[in-house]
Structure 1
Amino acid sequence: MFSDSPGANTRLRPEAAPVWLQPLVRAVDGGHVHRALSDRARYAGPQRDRQAAVLMLIDGPSQPPQLPPSASVLLTHRSPRMRNHSGQIAFPGGRVDPSDVNAVDCALREAHEETGLNRAAVTPLAQMEEVHVRRTGYPVYPVIAYQHAPAEVSAVSLEETDDVFRAPIAELVEPDNRLMVGHGSWRGPAFRCRGYIVWGFTGGILSAALAQAGWARPWAQDRVYDLRATLAASRNNERHF
C-alpha cells in the first residue's frame, strides 16, 4: 500500500475534469446539487463542534464526451461492528483532524486510511457546501474527485470497513436499481447495488449528483418501501439506523 502524503494535492482543479464529468462539476460549483437535497440535509443542525469530509471519487476513461459505460464511484461498506452507522454503504471519509489542511485533505486522508487509495492518482475537482447527517446534524463536506491514474483499493481495516468497491454509474441509474425508502415521517432515495442498499446521507448525495449532472433516468418515486424491511432483506447487516 502506498504511504499517504498529508497536505499534498489539496487544491480543487475543476478545469482538469474530463468533458463528460464537467456537467457534475458545474452542478456542484453552481450549488445545484446542494439545493436538490432535502431541507433537513441542507440546513445546519445543533452540532457545530465537529466537521467531516467525504470523497466522491469517480473513475472512468478521460476521452469520451459523454458519460462512459465504465464510469464508477467508489463506495465502502462499514463493518456491522462499528458503533456509528454500522453496516451502511458510505463514501470514504471521516472527521476533520486539526492537522488537515482543508476538507479535501481530510477526504483524501480518510480514503487512504480506509481503502489504501493513492492520493497522487486523484484530481480534486469540486467541493459541495456543507451537508448534515440526519442523526447527528454534523456538517459534512462532500469532495468530488476524478481518478486520473490507476489506483488499487481494498478494505484496509476490516474492523471499520469490510468491503470496498467501485459501483458502476450505469448500474446505479438503472431504474430497477432505484427506490424510495421510508421510516416514520422520513423518506429518501436509495439504490440497490451488489445486494446492498445505498440510502441515507450517501443515497441522497448520489441521487442529487446523478440528477443534476444529467445522468439519471426516470424511476418510480411514488412507491415508498419500508426501510426496516428493505434493509433486513439486504447485505447491509445494519444493527440500527
Structure 2
Amino acid sequence: MNPVPPWLATLADSASGMTVPPQMRPPRDGGRESAVLILFGEGPHGPDLLLIQRNAGLRRHPGQPAFPGGRIEPTDPSPEAAALREAAEETGLVPAGVDVLGRLPELYLSFSDFRVAPVLGWWRDPSEVRPTDLHEVAAVSRVPVSDLADPANRVMVRYGDGSRWGPGFRVDGMLVWGFTGAIVDRLLALGEWELPWRREGLTDVFEATPNGLRPVG
C-alpha cells in the first residue's frame, strides 16, 4: 500500500484550477458526458501514467493512445465512478486500489462532441492491467513520466491548415497526441517535470490527417 505522495497532492491542487485552452473549452450547451481516468502510479522507473491504445478499427480515434474512460452512463453515480468503471472494463484495473484525488476542469473533445471530466487518481495498490475489452483496446501501458518528459521523445503535431499546433510524445511504441497529448503536456508543466525541448529544426513534426499522423519533412 502506498499513500498519496506529496508531489501528487500538490499537482492535484494545481491541476484543479488549470487554465483550459480555448479549443478545449466546452460549449454552453450540448456535448455527451464522459469521464477519463488520469492515473498516476509508482513504477520501477519512478512516477508513471496509465495509458491505453485504442484499436485501429474503431470509428472514433482509431489507434490513438488515450486515458482509460468513456461515456457516463445513467447508472454511474458520478464522473469518478464512471472513470473507474471504464478503466476496469478496458484494462482489468481493480478500482478498490485507486484513491481519487479530484478532477481537472471539464474539457471538450470537439471531434467526437464529448464533454470530458478528467478524474485524477493515485494507484495506491496497483493491480495487473492488460487489454480486457478487446473490441476497444489494443494495448495497455504504464508509461514513466521521465519518458514523457524526455525531450528526445517529444514531437510537434500540425493540425488543419497549419495554424494550430500541439504536443506529441513518442513512448513505448505509441505516439501520444491530440487531446491526450495536450493533457499530458499540461500535467508535465504543472508537475515541474518539463524539460527544455531540442533546438528548433531538430524536433520531429507530424501532420494530423483523417487517417492518423504522417511525418512532415
Q: Same fold (TM over 0.5)?
A: yes
Contact 2:100 2:119 in 1 (8 A): yes
In the alignment, what sits opposite 1:38?
A: 21
Cα deviation code 1:160-200 (max 9, x no counterpart) = 10100100101110011112210223311110112211001
In the alignment, what sits opposite 2:207?
A: 227
Shift of 1:146: 0.3
C-alpha change, 1:163 and 1:199, in structure 2 (3 Å) is same
Shift of 1:102: 0.7
C-alpha change, 1:132 and 1:222, in structure 2 (3 Å) is farther
Distance in 2, Cα, partners of 1:136 & 1:52: 11
Between 1 and 2, higher relative CO (CA 8 Å, sep ≥ 6) is seen in 1
Q: Indicate the structure with greater strand content.
A: 2
Question: Residue 71 of structure 1: SS of its match in structure 2?
Answer: strand
Shifted more, 76-85 versus 215-224: the winner is: 215-224
Q: Where does structure 1 lack aligned partners over 5 or more consecutive residues?
A: 1-15, 62-67, 234-241
In the alignment, what sits opposite 1:20?
A: 7
**Alignment root-mean-square deviation, CA:** 2.2
Q: Where does structure 2 lack aligned partners over 5 or more consecutive residues?
A: none
In the alignment, what sits opposite 2:39?
A: 57
TM-score with structure 1 length normalisation? 0.79
Number of aligned residue pairs: give it.
207
Contact 1:181 1:190 in 2 (8 A): yes
Distance in 2, Cα, partners of 1:95 & 1:221: 40
1:162 partner amino acid: A
Runs of 4+ in 1 over 4 A off after TM superposition: 220-224
Contact 1:78 1:90 in 2 (8 A): yes
1:1-241 equivalences under 5 Å are 17-29=4-16, 31-32=17-18, 35=19, 37-41=20-24, 43-45=25-27, 48-60=30-42, 69-183=45-159, 184=161, 185-220=163-198, 225-228=205-208, 231-232=213-214
TM-score with structure 2 length normalisation? 0.87
Contact 1:121 1:149 in 2 (8 A): yes
1:113 partner amino acid: E
Question: Residue 75 of structure 1: SS of its match in structure 2?
Answer: strand
Contact 2:7 2:191 in 1 (8 A): no
C-alpha change, 1:120 and 1:155, in structure 2 (3 Å) is same
